[in-house]
Amino acid sequence: MAVDGPDQRDVRQGAGRIEDDDEEPMSTLTELQQLLHAKYNIEIDTIGPDAAMQDSGMDSLAIAEFMFAVEDHFHITLPDDDPSINTLAQLAALIDRVKAAPPAAAKTPAPSPVTEDK
Amino acid sequence: MIRVAVTGLGAIAPHGDDDRALFAALMRGESALRPVFPELPKPAIAAVAPFDETRWFTKLQLAGVDRVSQIAVAAADLAMRDAAAANTCESERIGVYGGCGMGGAAALETAYRGARVPPLTIPSFMPNAPASHVAMRNQARGPVLTYSVACASSAVAIAEAAKAIASGEVDVAIAGGSEALIVPGVVVAWQAMQTLATFTPERAAQAVKPFAADRSGFALGEGATFLVLESEERARQRGATVRAWLSGWGTTCDATHLTKPDQNGQARALRAALQRAGLTPRDVGYCNAHGTATRIGDVVESHALAEVWGDDLGTLRVSSTKALHGHLLGAAGALEALVTILALEQRRAPPNVHCETVDPECRLNLVLESDLAAPDLRHAITNSFAFGGTNCVLLFSRA
Residue A57's pLDDT is 87
Alpha helices per DSSP H over B224-331: 232-237, 263-277, 295-309, 322-325
Domain topology for A35-102: 1.10.1200
Please tell me the distance from the alpha carbon of residue B3 to that of residue B165, in angstroms, as a whole number: 9
Question: Over its length of 399 residues, how does chain B's per-residue pLDDT go in tens digits?
Answer: 899 999 999 999 999 999 999 999 999 999 999 999 999 999 999 999 999 999 999 999 999 999 999 999 999 999 999 999 999 999 999 999 999 999 999 999 999 998 899 999 999 999 999 999 999 999 999 999 999 999 999 999 999 999 999 999 999 999 999 999 999 999 999 999 999 999 999 999 999 999 999 999 999 999 999 999 999 999 999 999 999 999 999 999 999 999 999 999 999 999 999 999 999 999 999 999 999 999 999 999 999 999 999 999 999 999 999 999 999 999 999 999 999 999 999 999 999 999 999 999 999 999 999 999 999 999 999 999 999 999 999 999 999
pTM attached to this predicted model: 0.91
Specify the higher pLDDT residue, A104 or A75.
Answer: A75
Element holding B288 (H helix, E strand): strand B284-288
Of B237, B265, B292, which closes a domain?
B237
Check whether residue B253 and residue B229 sit in a common domain: no
Q: What number of other Cβ atoms are within 10 A of residue B136's Cβ? A: 13
B290 among known catalytic residues: yes
Q: Check B115 against A67: CB less than 8 A apart.
A: no
Q: Which one of A41, A65, A67 has the shortest CB-CB distance to B58?
A: A41
Of B193, B217, B237, which closes a domain?
B237
Check whether residue B222 and residue B362 sit in a common domain: no
Please tell me the distance from the alpha carbon of residue B334 to that of residue B71, in angstroms, as a whole number: 13
CATH classification at residue B280: 3.40.47.10
Q: Check B60 against A41: CB less than 8 A apart.
A: yes
A102 in B contact zone (CB under 8 Å): no
Chain A partners of B107 at a C-beta cutoff of 8 Å?
3
pLDDT in tens, A32-75: 999 999 999 998 888 889 989 988 889 999 999 999 999 999 99
Please tell me the distance from the alpha carbon of residue A26 to that of residue A49, in angstroms, as a whole number: 15
Residue B382's pLDDT is 98
Check whether residue B274 and residue B225 sit in a common domain: no
Assembly ipTM: 0.84
- Name the residue range of residue B19's domain: 4-237
Number of separate domains in chain B: 2
B53 in A contact zone (CB under 8 Å): yes
For residue B41, give every residue at least 6 positions away whose Cβ sits within 8 Å of its Cβ, in sequence order, or none: none
Residue A10's pLDDT is 39
Check whether residue B228 and residue B253 sit in a common domain: no
Of B185, B206, B237, which closes a domain?
B237
B180 in A contact zone (CB under 8 Å): yes
Check whether residue B217 and residue B277 sit in a common domain: no
Check whether residue B65 and residue B94 sit in a common domain: yes
Please tell me the distance from the alpha carbon of residue B178 to that of residue B153, in angstroms, as a whole number: 9
